[in-house]
Amino acid sequence: MSNSSCSLTQPSSITLNQPNEVRRFLSLPAFGSDPDSNTFIKRASHRLIFPDGRPFKIVGPNIYWLAIDENVGSTGSFPSSQRILDAFATAATMGATTVRSTTLGVSLGSKNAIEPHLGSFNTQALDHLGFVVYVARLYAIKLIIPLTDQYDYYHGGYRTFLRWRGIPDTNSSAFYDTSSIVYEDFTSYITTILNYTNPYTQMKLSEDPTILAWETGNELDGPDPKWTKSVAETIKNLAPNQLVGSGRYGVNKEDLTIESIDLVYDFVIFFFIFFQELGGKVVLFLTFRLLSIIPQYRSFLSSFL
């Protein structure tokens, strides 16, 4: 399956009660009018390509707050539809092909989270996630979505799962134990998100080509490669047409041998060191500003960017 398409008008549940919101929505392209919005991106060795072989380059911002905000209104509130529409309009105007957003997939332990309490899932939060995916699709912008977080921020992370089970949240090894109840809790969370049917597109998130990749986490400090492999395989089984990124902070040589991992992440300087052993994975550079201060890497990287 190389593409997925559908046809929708404005969902009735979108509230556009401010003039700027109405104008912003009316200026959007027809749903799915860009053929690239209906195509899954594939990995070919260390490059990303469209199904017809054209190269795809990940260019764009990290807009972490798209699902749960901390900047406008109270911390943990849903961003307004206007903020979401404006964010994607701005990204598209600047030439972005991709947006990464932590809170789209890391949403735990608060009133407006996807999983406010262990085993309890919030339909309103899932619908909000669906709206963000819908708007990204309108602009033919792909999404990268982490599924847990190293840090204990307002939107939750791996420590939330530990606390739910009464385990000290400093005991990260308990989270990375694939035989533990905490691991079952995490994979249940993943399954719920990927199997969610978006009311705005009528597709499961696992079937939507808008989602370029799921990350096993955000900047995780030392996950066991066995855990990374198991989580990646869980995602691939649910979403075989979408890519999977290792959530480890920095390149780990063992991660490079995991067939179900498509993307790894690092600073430019570390990529330079490990390049000969990257095993055909795609590398995302999270600190692009290094290119401006390390001129000797520019020519080396030019053939990969």
The pair of structure tokens assigned to 11 is 């969902």
Q: Is the pLDDT of residue 155 over 70?
A: yes
Q: What pLDDT score was predicted for residue 25? A: 54
Task: Return d(Cα 20, Cα 261) in angstroms, integer.
Answer: 41
The burial class, CB within 10 Å (0-12 / 13-18 / 19+), for 179 is exposed
Domain boundaries, the chain: 19-302
At residue 144, the 3 state secondary structure works out as: strand
Q: How confident is the model at residue 209 (pLDDT cuts 50, 70, 90)?
A: very high
At residue 174, the 3 state secondary structure works out as: helix
Asked which of 121-125, 201-205, 264-268 is least confident by mean pLDDT, the reply is: 264-268
Q: How confident is the model at residue 172 (pLDDT cuts 50, 70, 90)?
A: very high
Q: How confident is the model at residue 153 (pLDDT cuts 50, 70, 90)?
A: very high
Task: Return d(Cα 260, Cα 166) in angstroms, integer.
Answer: 32
Q: What pLDDT score was predicted for residue 302? A: 46
The pair of structure tokens assigned to 293 is 């201060």
Quickly list DSSP for 83-134. Answer: HHHHHHHHHHHTT-SEEE-GGGT--BSSTTSSBSBTTB--HHHHHHHHHHHH
The superfamily (CATH) of domain 19-302 is: Glycosidases (3.20.20.80)
Q: What pLDDT score was predicted for residue 19? A: 46
Q: Is the pLDDT of residue 290 over 60?
A: no
Digit-coded pLDDT (tens) for 95-136: 899 999 999 999 999 999 999 999 999 999 999 999 999 999
Q: What pLDDT score was predicted for residue 250? A: 75
Which CA distances in Å does 49 have to 43, 44, 135, 233?
6, 7, 23, 22
